[in-house]
């Protein structure tokens, strides 16, 4: 029998775990390569995960509803077609979660185990089960919690038995342990620890004037941020953050800590693009495509990135990685504007104006209908966010790590500006104008280069070629 491990895939650069929501195949069933095997849900997307090989599903190591770290082995497939023996006991949840990270297998060969770049620390040993009766609640919690949860608990001297888990069968999740730590840290000095089952630090009143502490996970470590206490008064409403909101908080705080943020703003005359778009809209409509200003801006951004490739780069320690491909992240507001997701338009520099339009429209629709695949939200090299769609003049966005710059485009509206008439005289005219705000990482991008880049974008838009198709 030759078994191949199936792992929990990483569904984006900032995603550390996923929830296995449903097994599509069951033990003993055959599966073809690339046939859907199980469903997962993450902070960003829901997706069906295909089988890496053809064979028979012989072991399921992660139960439905469980949340595990990426690269965790969730199942094993026998590539020689053998079925699982009914009498053979299945591995426990603890044996799965204590396994080291593995790289995904390639083809139907025996799996080679390779340690991950940052191995999981060995979990604290769980208390031995008593032979006189069923295991205790503490033992059940220890056996169901992930290595990451046990590691966080050990770092902060938390007994997992004091935390009420919201996972399957009372399992303590990462959010449960972090909420417990936040509540304990925010409590006034000499106050008793928060009672088990406290749903959120925000749900427990905090004495006015007492400083609180919030621990934000950042790529396996924690960032301690001291925050002011928030007294909850009668009539106040307390709402838990969604998973997307929590991950956005984590990613944005990490970005502000990592990058030296600076923002430069330029004003762009859109009068030429407004007229050109009006001319092209019927041709695009014939193809069933809605033409917005977005693709024109993307074209200008691509030209500027070609001329100043330092803005299409990432920082790796003390090295600068210049990306060959221009993969544009396009920020999309979802959930009635309460959440934000950034799908990525791959190889945007190889697309025509029509290709940029259809590609961006497809990604935006997928984001709103929650049908993005994991490949749709990773690999971005530069991001554009349109704050103008909500009527804002301009924005100063936070860089989307590991990129080094992000462009915020403001509202395009008519304004009185000074222009020259046919005789070269200065006159006041009405033009469609917009402000563009570029936030960039001052570790590698200086103000002069940022200004040159913005000027290039401005020049392309104000002199957009008529034969764009």
3-state class (DSSP) for residue 169: helix
> Taking the CA of residue 74 as centre, how many other CA atoms within 13 Å lie in the half-sphere pointing to its CB?
32
Tokens of 402: 């590991």
Q: Kind and range of the H or E element at 415? A: strand 413-420
152 neighbors 182 (Cβ within 8 angstroms): no
> What order of strands is seen across the sheet that includes strand 73-78?
3-7, 73-78, 55-60, 30-31
419 neighbors 432 (Cβ within 8 angstroms): no
180 is catalytic: no
Report phi then psi at 432, rounded to 5.
-80, 120
- Can you give the length of the chain in residues? 469
Catalytic-role residue among 190, 426, 442, 467 = 442
The whole-angstrom separation of Cα 56 and Cα 53 is 9
The whole-angstrom separation of Cα 459 and Cα 269 is 9
Per DSSP, what are the bridge partners of residue 416?
Answer: 430
Which is nearest to 95 in space by CA: 119, 67, 126? 126
Report phi then psi at 59, rounded to 5.
-145, 135
Which is nearest to 47 in space by CA: 9, 73, 96? 9
Q: Phi/psi zone of residue 65: left (φ > 0), alpha (ψ -120 to 50 degrees), beta?
A: left
> Taking the CA of residue 102 as centre, how many other CA atoms within 13 Å lie in the half-sphere pointing to its CB?
21
The whole-angstrom separation of Cα 293 and Cα 218 is 36
98 is catalytic: no
Rounded to 10 degrees, what is the CA torsion of 444, 446, 450, 456? -90
Catalytic-role residue among 219, 446, 459, 467 = 446
Catalytic residue numbers read 442, 446
């Amino acid at each position: 029998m030759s078994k191949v491990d199936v792992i929990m895939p990483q569904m984006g650069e900032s995603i550390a775990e996923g929830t296995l929501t449903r097994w599509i195949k069951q033990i003993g069933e055959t599966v073809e390569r690339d046939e859907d095997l199980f469903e997962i849900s993450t902070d960003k997307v829901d997706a069906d995960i295909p089988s890496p090989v053809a064979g028979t599903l012989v072991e399921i190591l992660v139960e439905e509803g469980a949340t595990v770290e990426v690269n965790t082995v969730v199942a094993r497939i026998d590539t020689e077609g053998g079925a699982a023996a009914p009498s053979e006991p299945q591995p426990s949840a603890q044996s799965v979660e204590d396994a080291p990270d593995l790289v995904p297998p390639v083809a139907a060969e025996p799996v080679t185990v390779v340690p991950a770049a940052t191995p999981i620390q060995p979990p604290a040993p769980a208390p031995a089960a008593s032979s006189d009766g069923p295991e205790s609640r503490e033992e059940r919690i220890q056996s169901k919690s992930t290595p990451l949860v046990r590691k966080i608990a050990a770092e902060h001297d938390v007994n997992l038995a004091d935390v009420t888990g919201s996972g399957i069968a009372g399992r303590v999740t990462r959010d449960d342990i972090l909420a417990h730590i936040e509540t304990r840290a925010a409590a006034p000095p000499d106050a008793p620890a928060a009672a088990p089952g406290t749903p959120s630090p925000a749900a427990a009143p905090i004495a006015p004037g007492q400083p609180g502490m919030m621990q934000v996970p950042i790529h396996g470590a924690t960032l301690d941020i001291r925050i002011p206490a928030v007294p909850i008064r009668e009539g106040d409403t307390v709402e838990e953050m969604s998973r997307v909101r929590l991950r956005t908080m984590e990613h944005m705080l990490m970005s502000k800590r990592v990058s030296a943020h600076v923002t430069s703003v330029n004003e762009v005359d859109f009068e030429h693009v407004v007229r050109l778009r009006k001319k092209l809209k019927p041709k695009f409509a014939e193809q069933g495509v809605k033409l917005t200003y977005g693709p024109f801006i993307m074209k200008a951004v691509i030209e500027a990135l070609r001329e100043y490739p330092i803005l299409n780069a990432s920082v790796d320690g003390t090295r600068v990685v210049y990306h060959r491909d221009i993969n544009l992240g396009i920020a999309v507001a979802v959930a009635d504007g309460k959440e934000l997701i950034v799908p990525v338009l791959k190889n945007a520099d190889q697309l025509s104006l029509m290709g940029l339009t259809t590609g961006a429209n497809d990604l935006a629709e997928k984001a709103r209908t929650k049908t993005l695949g994991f490949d749709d939200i990773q690999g971005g090299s530069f991001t554009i966010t349109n704050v103008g769609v909500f009527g804002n003049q301009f924005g100063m966005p936070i860089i989307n790590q590991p990129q080094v710059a992000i462009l915020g485009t403001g509202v395009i509206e008519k304004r009185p500006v000074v222009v020259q008439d046919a005789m070269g005289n200065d006159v006041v005219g009405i033009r469609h104008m917009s402000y563009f705000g570029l936030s960039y990482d001052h570790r590698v991008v200086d103000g002069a280069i940022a200004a040159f880049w913005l000027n290039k974008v401005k020049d392309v838009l104000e002199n957009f070629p008529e034969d764009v198709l």
